[in-house]
Chain A
Amino acid sequence: MKKFLILAVCFLTSTFCFSQEFTKTVSSKVQLIIIRDGHGAFQIEGHNKQEIIIKATGIQHNSKGKGLTPLYSGGSDTGIGLTMNETGEVIEFTGLPRQGNQSYHILVPENINIKAEWRNHDSQKLLRISNLKSSLEVHRINGKMDISNITGPLVLYSMHGETKIRFSEINHNRPISISSYNADIEIELEAATKASLEMSSGRGEIYTDFEIKRTPSNKKTEEERIITGTINGGGVKIILQSYAGNFYLKKY
């Protein structure tokens, strides 16, 4: 018991946990917000305000670093386990290393393009993204993803993390590209979505409840397992490619 109390006191003198909020007004020239390598669970949500609001809970704030510059991560320390860099049209948040079991709820302007990039293997926590009317780029190695109410264009890669994506109305003609190494990916589209599909999974399966009008592919793929076709007469290009994951293309 005595040991425990000593450890607890030592811990509390160097770090302390608390909830915190960070707010930044976004100027009209900003076109892209990048969120990179954060630790913990993340929820990125679009809203109709021209500001970024980050609500963080479970932060273990390292008081030793207060007022200092993190040289590896760069930028300015927001005090909530993320650094921030702003360069003209881009605002970038990067996770500081050795963070604890925190979670973030990040509100972003719904019409600004978002890039969410986790290139480290140790991020296992759920990533949620929702309510975006802008271009979305996602790269993740591990950890589940739940993405909903987005229009795209979406360019997403999940190496191992099971991913669920639900599109709202797709009102653009830029390609949507979704790939995985061996992650299963579930994609939900409005039943009336007009799309031209190009799908392949080398060692996985592709399931759908859409009526696909198959079109012969003149493309070569390494294992000749490409499926091309249209739904509702064709439209936005949707490219799905996996090495060993399954795709579940569903209508709602």
Chain B
Amino acid sequence: MTEQEIKILLDKYYKGLTSLEEEGQIKSFFRATDFSDELASDKNLMSLVTSGQAFSPQAKFEFDEKIKAELLKERTDTRKIYWQWSLRGAAAVIFLLASFWLGRISSQSNQKEYLQLQAQVSKMNTELIRTNLRLTSPSDRIKGVQYSYELNSLSNDIIDELAHTLNNDENVNVRLAAGNALFQFAHNEKTKKTLIESINKQNQHPLIQISLINMMFALNEKTAFENIKEAIQNENLPFEDRQRIQKELNSQSRSL
């Protein structure tokens, strides 16, 4: 396979349109072929992102441990991080991330640098969320949402990204994943408001609507009650479930 052909396949991959066979061809290409520097970042993306290991909890833990170890080695070089805001950019970001594993890190203020690196990892995860949410495959978009679980907090723009996904994605499971992800950060007022406002945007999707309602019941969130009352009128929700919601609403209202 020529580099030109692999570039076409990579373009398809970044659009989420490759078949498993084509992804196998890409992986085989990088395993077996000498290629130009131009494709180096793509190789790292394929080996890290498509393996599903890049930011799994275990991988992140291992990554953090490697960073710590490298900080202790008192090496004396630094690398610049730059950000690209495209799918190709994600590949470059992963490449840079991988490069950290080789570690060339200043020894002057280890703890400070470790915290900085953690922040950078968080930024990379943020970028991966943004990147994956734009892919056409729902499986890839779910993967994007799941990167948010690696974050300690959500920035406003990621809350907006996830809110947009929750309210507009054409796939129920992707919306559901976005709702579940936002719920992890429901202590944040903006996130909580997003979830509450979304309840009545899900009239065509009973599973998501009832999931959001149950989140609010779990939080005992009184400010959601008006939205829940409105949702009870949604005839797409089975009658017996609307009755159950009404009962729970009455119960929680009495405890006010």
Which A residues are closer than 8 A to B by beta carbons?
A: 31-32, 89, 111-113, 133-135, 137, 139, 151-157, 159, 171-182, 202, 218-224, 236-237, 239, 241-244
Write the nearest CB–CB distance from A63 to chain B, whole angstroms.
35
Known contacts A137-B171, A241-B176; decide if A111 and B19 are in contact (CB<8 Å): yes
CB contacts (< 8 Å) of B51 on chain A: these are: 173
State the B residues within 8 Å of A (CB).
Answer: 12, 17-23, 50-53, 136-140, 142-143, 146, 149, 171-174, 176-177, 180, 183-184, 186, 206-207, 210-211, 214-215, 217-218, 238, 241
**Contacts A174-B140, A222-B215, A243-B207 known; A155 to B171 CB distance under 8 Å?**
yes
Secondary structure type dominating chain A contacts = loop
Given A113-B19, A222-B215, decide whether A175 and B206 contact each other with a Cβ distance below 8 A.
no
B interface SS class = helix
With a CB–CB cut-off of 8 A, which chain B residues contact A173? Answer: 50-53
Contacts of B217 in A (CB 8 A): 222
| B53: chain A residues within 8 A (beta carbon) | 173
CA distance A30 to B166 in the complex (A): 29
Residue of A nearest to B142 (CB): A175
Q: Which of the residues A89, A218, A241 comes within 8 Å of B17, measured between beta carbons?
A: A89
Q: How far is the CB of A201 from chain B (nearest CB, A)?
A: 11
- Which chain B residue shows the least CB distance to A244? B241
Q: Is B52 a contact of A31 with CB atoms below 8 Å?
A: no
Distance in angstroms from A199 CB to nearest chain B CB is: 13
- Which A residue sits closest to B172, measured CB to CB? A157
B20 touches A111 (CB 8 A): yes
The answer on a CB contact under 8 Å between A159 and B206 is yes
12 additional A-B pairs beyond A218-B149, A239-B142, A241-B207, beta carbons within 8 Å, are A139-B171, A153-B137, A157-B172, A180-B207, A181-B207, A181-B238, A219-B149, A219-B184, A220-B184, A222-B211, A243-B210, A243-B241
Contact for B138 among A134, A137, A218, A221, CB less than 8 A: A137
A153 to B174, CA, bound (A): 14
Residue of B nearest to A121 (CB): B236
Residues in B neighbouring A243, C-beta threshold 8 A: 206-207, 210-211, 241
Output the nearest chain A residue to B211 by Cβ-Cβ distance. A222
